């Protein structure tokens, strides 16, 4: 589907250099006497590589319409993650490299949004915030609360995040999956 640079927005999927790219961020720049342009950061949906690309203002771009389908993460099989479509119960594998950094927060049974280009899976979006249990963290040292000191905590999925000193093993915390950062402690 053809579009122009005026259609660019965060999260838009476009075909650039023959590969699917997601717009991470964009800025419309008009430098005085010069021609206006749109500076974008594009993330390759296959490799996860982010690159900066400039488009002339008004330039045509190839917008790809992707379909969002609700899927459930089942298990990991070697280098593949196995998902199931919650409507048709069809199972499909996704390679580890397509998941990127978000794979560290996948928990068995978690419902995610799979992005389909026709019948081809091009990516998976986790919920923005998820709750995970802390399986291990060092105990806090008494009197070490004068500043914003953080410590490393291991979560039930094996991921490690920095948390405040008051978080202990067994606590459930909320994580922002976009940045991989601690948000708050959740009351169970």
* pLDDT of 2 above 90: no
Same domain, 73 and 104: yes
So what's the pLDDT on residue 146? Answer: 61
State which H helix or E strand residue 158 sits in.
Answer: none
So what's the pLDDT on residue 54? Answer: 95
CATH of the domain at 90: 2.40.50.140
* pLDDT of 145 above 80: no
Same domain, 112 and 149: no
So what's the pLDDT on residue 138? Answer: 87
Same domain, 84 and 111: yes
* pLDDT of 51 above 70: yes
**Separation of alpha carbons 175 and 181, rounded Å:** 6
Query: How big, in percent rounded to 5, are the helix, strand and coil portions of the chain?
Result: 5, 55, 40
Mean pLDDT of 102-112: 90
Same domain, 56 and 10: yes
Mean pLDDT of 58-85: 92
Same domain, 14 and 41: yes
State which H helix or E strand residue 9 sits in.
Answer: none
Mean pLDDT of 120-146: 83
Same domain, 134 and 163: yes
Residue 48, domain extent = 2-63
CATH of the domain at 27: 2.30.30.30
Same domain, 81 and 33: no
Same domain, 114 and 71: yes
Decide which of 45, 63, 81 is a domain's last residue.
Answer: 63
Same domain, 121 and 141: no
Which tokens belong to 188? Answer: 């169970």
* pLDDT of 28 above 80: yes
DSSP string, 61-121: EEE---EEEEEEEEEEETTEEEEEETTT--EEEEEHHHHGGGGGG--TT-EEEEEEETTEE
Same domain, 41 and 54: yes
The pTM of the full predicted model, rounded to 2 decimals, is 0.74
What Cα–Cα distance (Å) separates residue 110 from each residue in 73, 82, 94, 132, 159? 5, 12, 15, 11, 16
The number of residues making up the chain comes to 188
Same domain, 71 and 88: yes
**Separation of alpha carbons 160 and 137, rounded Å:** 10
Same domain, 151 and 181: yes
Decide which of 17, 37, 63 is a domain's last residue.
Answer: 63
Domains in the chain, number: 3
């Amino acid at each position: 589907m053809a579009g122009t640079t005026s259609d660019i927005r965060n999260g838009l999927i476009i075909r650039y250099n023959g590969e699917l790219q997601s717009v991470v961020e964009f800025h419309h720049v008009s430098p005085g006497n010069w021609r206006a342009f749109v500076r974008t950061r594009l993330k390759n949906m296959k490799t996860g590589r982010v690159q900066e690309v400039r488009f002339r203002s008004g330039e045509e771009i190839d917008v790809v319409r992707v379909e969002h389908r609700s899927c459930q993460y089942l298990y990991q099989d070697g280098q593949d993650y196995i998902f199931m479509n919650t409507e048709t119960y069809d199972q499909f594998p996704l390679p580890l490299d397509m998941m990127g950094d978000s794979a560290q927060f996948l928990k068995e049974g978690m419902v995610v949004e799979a992005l389909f280009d026709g019948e081809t899976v091009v990516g998976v979006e986790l919920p923005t915030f998820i709750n995970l249990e802390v399986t291990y963290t060092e105990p806090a040292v008494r009197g070490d609360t004068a500043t914003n000191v953080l410590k490393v905590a291991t979560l039930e999925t094996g991921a490690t995040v920095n948390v405040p000193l008051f978080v202990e093993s067994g606590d459930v915390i909320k994580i922002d999956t976009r940045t991989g950062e601690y948000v708050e402690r959740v009351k169970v």
